[in-house]
Amino acid sequence: MLAESASGSFGPGDPQMEKAIATRRACEAERLKRIKDPKARIMGIDTDALASQVAEKQAGAAADKALRMQYDTQRLQQDAQLAYLEQERLRAERMKAQFVDQFRASEQGKEKAREYDLNDPLGKFKDLPGRVGDEDPRMSVSCMQQFHGEDLSFAQRRKVQQQEITDWCNEQSSMKAAAKADQAAKDAAFAERALQIDQMKVDLEATARTARMQTNVAVAEYQLAQAAAKREREAAAQKSELQDNIEEIQANLSGDILTENPAVGRSFLAPNRVRPDHYKGMSPEEQAAFLNAQASQREQCRATAAATKAEEDAITAQMEATRRAGAYQDAQIAAMRAEMRKKLSEENQILATHQYANTSFLNAQVYKNGVDASFFDQFGTTSR
C-alpha cells in the first residue's frame, strides 16, 4: 500500500504524502513494539529443539539424581561399616581395660608389693603382743614379765563373747523361721477356706441355675397353653365373622341395593321427588329425553362452528388481499431502488473516468520529477 501511495509524484506539504509518511511511521512503531514484546518473540522459536533440550536436561537431571542416590547409598553403607568398626574398636578397648583392671586387681595389689610389710596399716594388729604369757620365750632376763592393767585373757574372752553372739543370732533365726512357718500354715488354711467358700458359691449358683431352668420350663409351658387357647379363640372368632359375612352377602344380594329397584329411589312423601341416598338411575323415558337434549345441543354446536368458520374464512381472505397489496408495493420500491443504484453507479463510473484522466495528466505532465519506488525501498528495513 505504501509503495502504491508513493509511486505517484507529490510535492512538499502534500496531504497524501504526509498521510503516507504518518502511516509508515505508525507501522514502524508497531513493528518495533512487536520486536520488543517478549511474548511476540516466542513465535519464531523452534519448539521441537526446545522440547529436545528440555528432554535432554530432564534426562541429565534424572541421571545426576540417580548418581547422587547411588553415592548416598554407598555413603550410608560406608557409614554403617564405619559405625560397626567403631563399635568393635570400643568393645575391644573395653575388654582390654577390663583385662588390665582384672590383672591389676589380682596381680598388682598393695599387699603383693615388696614394701607392703612396712606400709601395712594393719601391721600392728597382725604382730604378736609384747608377751603372750608369763613364760614367753621371747622375753629375756632383763625384760619385765607382768604389767599393771595387762589382760592376757582378752582373746579367749572375746572368742567366748563372739560364740555367745553367734548362738543368739542362731536362736533369733530359728524363731523367725518358726514364725514364718506358722504364717505359712495360716495362709494355707485361709486358702483352703477360700476354696471351700468358692465351691459353696459354685454349688449355690448351680442350684439357682437349675431352679431358673425349671421356672423357665414352667413359664414356657404356660405360654404354650395360653397361645393354644388364643388360637382357639381366634379360630372361633374367624368362624363367627365368616358366618356373619355370608349372611350379610346374602342379605345384600336379595336386597334393593343390588337388585337396582327403581321404586326405592322415589320419595314416599312425593312420587315426583328423588331420594339421593336410594337413587338407582334414570328411567327409559328420562334417558330418551336426555339423549334428545344432547342431540339438539350437538346441532346447535355444529351451526355455531359453521358460522365461526365462515367468519374466519372471510377474515383470512381479507388478510391475504392486504398481504398481496403490500407485496406489490414492496416490489415497486425495490425496482425504484435498483434504478437509483444503477444511476448512481453510472455517475460514479463517469467521475472515476474523469479522475483517472486528471491523475494521468498530472503524473505525465505536471509531476515529472516524482520519487520512484526504489527511494521507498530503503525505508522499513531496520527498527533502529
CB 107 within 8 A of CB 119: no
Query: Do residues 1 and 19 touch, judged by C-beta distance below 8 A?
Result: no
What are 85's three cell numbers?
A: 568398626
Per-residue buried b or exposed e for 335-373, using 16+ beta carbons within 10 Å of the residue's own CB: eeeeeeeeeeeeeeeeeeeeeeeeeeeeeeeeeeeeeee
State the sign of the Cα–Cα–Cα–Cα dihedral 198, 202, 208, 211: negative
Answer yes or no: are the C-beta atoms of 155 and 174 closer than 8 Å.
Answer: no
pTM comes to 0.22
pLDDT at 371: 67
What is the per-residue pLDDT for 351? 92
Question: What distance in Å separates the CA atoms of residue 161 and residue 140, rounded to the nearest whole number?
Answer: 34
Domain ranges, ordered by start, for the chain: 1-40, 52-119, 189-275
Q: For residue 57, give the H/E element and its range.
A: helix 47-107
Give the pLDDT of residue 267: 66
Averages of pLDDT over each 10 residues, the chain, 384 residues: 44 78 88 71 64 88 92 92 94 94 86 82 79 73 66 80 92 92 90 89 90 90 90 91 87 68 68 68 78 91 92 90 89 91 92 89 75 72 62
Long-range contacts, stretch 163-171, CB < 8 angstroms, 24+ apart: none
Which amino acid is located at 121 in the chain?
A: P
**Residues 152 and 132 sit within 8 Å (Cβ to Cβ):** yes
Q: Is 8 exposed, middle or buried (0-12, 13-18, 19+ CB in 10 A)?
A: middle
- What is d(CA 25, CA 113) in angstroms, rounded to the nearest whole number? 116
Cα angle, residue 251 at apex, residues 250 and 257 outer, rounded to 5°: 115
Per-residue pLDDT at 76: 93
Which pLDDT score, from 0 to 100, does residue 8 have? 47
Q: Which residue in 119, 115, 99 sits closest to 107, CA to CA?
A: 99
The sign one gets for the Cα dihedral 215, 217, 221, 227 is: positive
